[in-house]
């Protein structure tokens, strides 16, 4: 149902273009419009936009347009066509909801952020505003190929067909699409051709990445249908994401994922009230690049006292960038504007000297070696002598991270990674 007069939007994402298309098209019933941007020709500066709708009388309408962009990037696509299109569709009386079928290279979290924050200007008859003034993300459905997703999510392959300035890996996109999902459609393969243990391992990973997400298995003899998808949507719990972009100080284990080991898959937690030594942390991150599906966490670095750093990894790629200020670094009037839940939780662990500063990392492994990861991160924290030296000593440490860091690296590679859009303020 519309929220405060806004038109509901369902995002459909996934690396498997065929499974994503089947799911998106199955959602198109009377009163629903499908919008899809094909980015396969992005390097040519061309995006193929398809709009297909079924009006309330049951008649189908479809248009396909080749869009020529000034700059071949996803941001241009969103600003130039998708976001204005969402605002226009909102005003059509025949459109009760919208389905956005995302290209395999697109991540739903970035699209949701853009819908809420990117101002769409210079539209005749429209006030300058974000598309979120007219539409709301009702749900994100991510499609997962049973036979290939885990391989993609644990590798270090570059994103196929991505422009030169797109540094994301295939694993980062795969994990990002699933982590943001409210529901999953798993495109199953022939069980005769797949070991049951491999399927069980995939399920163990998915249940720990998105524990709240209901799931349906699509088989060749049981394809997705409007009825099955309606049942899946109904099963999405009220406290699911529904387009909400999380921040670096949000809980890292939301949804109460299983903490036990299953098929060699488990979650490893690390917490410390001591800051990391920057050089030793740089050496320790290698422990997060082998046998790991993903890792996320906020870091207290001895050379960064004002802001938490945000760590985000998938497969063989890891990025560390600026996150958001610690409460202890804010003025009292600024602190009063922060999330009351965060303020209350921070008060429970408040240190009289360092306030809420701490490190917390959650690692999802598929080849369990919790001791190796815990030892590497613990050894990277400051020693008693270094803690006694205080910030005056800490400021003398060599800092290989600078403002942002990408691994693996040969030397120290500093760049502007695509870190959390919620706190960086960057557009998708």
Q: Are residues 389 and 306 in the same domain?
A: yes
DSSP conformational letter for 119 = E
Q: Confirm whether 64 is domain-assigned.
A: yes
pLDDT given at position 163? 72
3-state secondary structure of 117: helix
pLDDT given at position 417? 32
Q: Are residues 209 and 292 in the same domain?
A: no
pLDDT given at position 4? 67
Q: Confirm whether 252 is domain-assigned.
A: no
Q: What HEC string does the chain produce?
A: CCECCEEEEEEEECCCHHHHHHHHHHCCCCCEEEEEEECCCHHHCEEEEEEEEECCCCCEEEEEEEEECCCCCHHHHHHHHHHHHHHHHHCCCCCCEEEEECCCCCCHHHHHHHHHHCEECCCCCCCCEEHHHCEEEEEEEEEEECCCHHHHHCCCCECCCCCCCCCCEHHHHHHHHHHCCCEEEEECCCHHHCCHHHHHHHHHHHHHHCCCCCEEEEECCECCCHHHHHHHHHCCCCCCCCCCCCCCCCCCCCCCCCCCCECCEEEEEEEECCCECHHHHHHHHHHHCCCEEEEEEEEEECCEEEEEEEEEEECCEEEEEEEEECHHHCCHHHHCCCCHHHHHHHHCCCECCCECCCEEEEEEECCCCHHHHHHHHHHCECCHHHHHHHHHHHCCCCCCCCCEEEECCCCCCCCCCCCCHHHHCCCC
Q: Confirm whether 239 is domain-assigned.
A: no
pLDDT given at position 408? 56
Domain range for 203 is 7-234
Which pTM does this prediction carry? 0.90
Q: Confirm whether 2 is domain-assigned.
A: no
Q: Are residues 153 and 46 in the same domain?
A: yes
Cα 400 off chain centre by: 26
Q: Are residues 229 and 302 in the same domain?
A: no
CATH no. for residue 326?
Answer: 3.30.1220.10
pLDDT given at position 407? 60
Q: Confirm whether 1 is domain-assigned.
A: no
Q: Confirm whether 257 is domain-assigned.
A: no
| pLDDT tens for the 428 residues of the chain, in order | 456 699 999 999 999 999 999 999 999 999 999 999 998 888 788 889 999 999 888 889 999 999 887 666 677 777 789 999 999 999 999 999 999 999 999 999 999 999 999 999 999 999 999 999 999 999 999 999 999 999 999 999 988 877 777 888 999 999 999 999 999 999 998 777 778 899 999 999 999 999 999 999 998 878 899 999 999 999 999 999 999 998 899 999 999 999 999 999 999 999 999 999 999 999 999 999 889 999 999 999 999 999 999 999 999 889 898 889 999 999 999 999 999 999 999 999 999 999 999 999 999 999 867 789 999 999 999 999 999 999 999 999 999 987 555 665 533 232 333 344 333 333 33
Q: Are residues 41 and 95 in the same domain?
A: yes
Q: Are residues 180 and 292 in the same domain?
A: no
CATH no. for residue 25?
Answer: 3.40.50.300
Alpha-carbon distance of 167 to 413, in angstroms, equals 12
Q: Are residues 146 and 49 in the same domain?
A: yes
Q: Are residues 229 and 299 in the same domain?
A: no
Query: Comparing C-alpha atoms, which of 265, 273, 428 is closest to residue 346?
Result: 273
Q: Confirm whether 377 is domain-assigned.
A: yes
DSSP assignment of 125-194: TS-SEEGGGTEEEEEEEEEEETTTHHHHHTS-PBPTT--TT---BHHHHHHHHHHT-SEEEEE---GGGS
DSSP conformational letter for 255 = T
Total domain count, the chain: 2
Q: Are residues 225 and 298 in the same domain?
A: no
Q: Are residues 372 and 299 in the same domain?
A: yes
DSSP conformational letter for 329 = G
Q: Are residues 56 and 195 in the same domain?
A: yes
Q: Confirm whether 244 is domain-assigned.
A: no
Alpha-carbon distance of 372 to 346, in angstroms, equals 29
């Amino acid at each position: 149902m519309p929220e405060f007069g806004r038109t509901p939007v369902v995002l459909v994402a996934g690396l498997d273009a065929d499974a994503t298309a089947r799911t998106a098209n199955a959602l198109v019933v009377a009163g629903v419009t499908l919008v899809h941007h094909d980015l396969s020709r992005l390097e040519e500066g061309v995006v193929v936009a398809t709009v297909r709708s079924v009006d309330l009388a049951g008649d189908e309408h479809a248009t396909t347009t080749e869009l020529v962009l000034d700059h071949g990037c996803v941001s241009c696509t969103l600003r130039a066509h998708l976001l204005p299109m969402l605002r226009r569709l909102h005003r059509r009386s025949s459109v009760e909801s919208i389905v956005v079928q995302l290209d395999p290279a697109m991540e739903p979290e970035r699209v949701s952020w853009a819908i809420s924050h990117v101002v769409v200007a210079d539209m005749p008859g429209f006030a300058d505003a974000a598309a979120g003034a007219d539409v709301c993300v009702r749900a994100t459905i991510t499609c997962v190929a049973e036979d290939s997703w885990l391989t993609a999510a644990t590798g270090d392959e570059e994103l196929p067909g991505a422009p030169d300035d797109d540094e994301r890996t295939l694993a980062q996109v795969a994990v990002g699409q699933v982590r943001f999902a409210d529901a999953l459609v798993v495109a199953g393969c022939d069980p005769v051709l797949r070991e049951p243990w491999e399927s069980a391992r995939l399920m163990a990973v998915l249940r720990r990445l998105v524990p709240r997400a209901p799931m349906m298995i699509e088989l060749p003899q049981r394809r997705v249908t409007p009825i099955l998808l309606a049942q899946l949507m109904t099963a999405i719990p009220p406290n699911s994401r529904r387009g909400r972009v999380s921040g670096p100080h949000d809980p890292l284990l939301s949804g109460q994922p299983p903490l036990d080991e299953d098929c060699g898959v488990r979650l490893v937690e690390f917490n410390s009230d001591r800051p990391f030594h920057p050089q030793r942390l740089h050496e320790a991150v290698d422990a997060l690049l082998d046998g790991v599906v993903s890792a996320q966490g906020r870091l207290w670095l001895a050379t960064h006292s004002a802001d938490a750093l945000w760590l985000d990894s998938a497969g063989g790629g890891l990025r560390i960038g600026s996150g958001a200020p610690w409460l202890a670094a804010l003025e009292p009037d600024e602190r009063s504007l922060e999330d009351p839940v965060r303020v209350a939780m921070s008060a429970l662990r408040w240190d009289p000297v360092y306030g809420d500063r701490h490190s917390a990392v959650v690692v999802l492994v598929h080849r369990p070696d919790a001791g190796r990861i815990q030892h590497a991160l613990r050894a990277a924290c400051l020693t008693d002598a270094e803690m006694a030296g205080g910030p005056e000593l800490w400021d003398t440490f060599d800092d290989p991270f600078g403002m942002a860091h990408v691994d693996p690296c040969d030397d120290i590679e500093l760049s502007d990674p695509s870190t959390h859009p919620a706190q960086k303020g960057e557009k998708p």
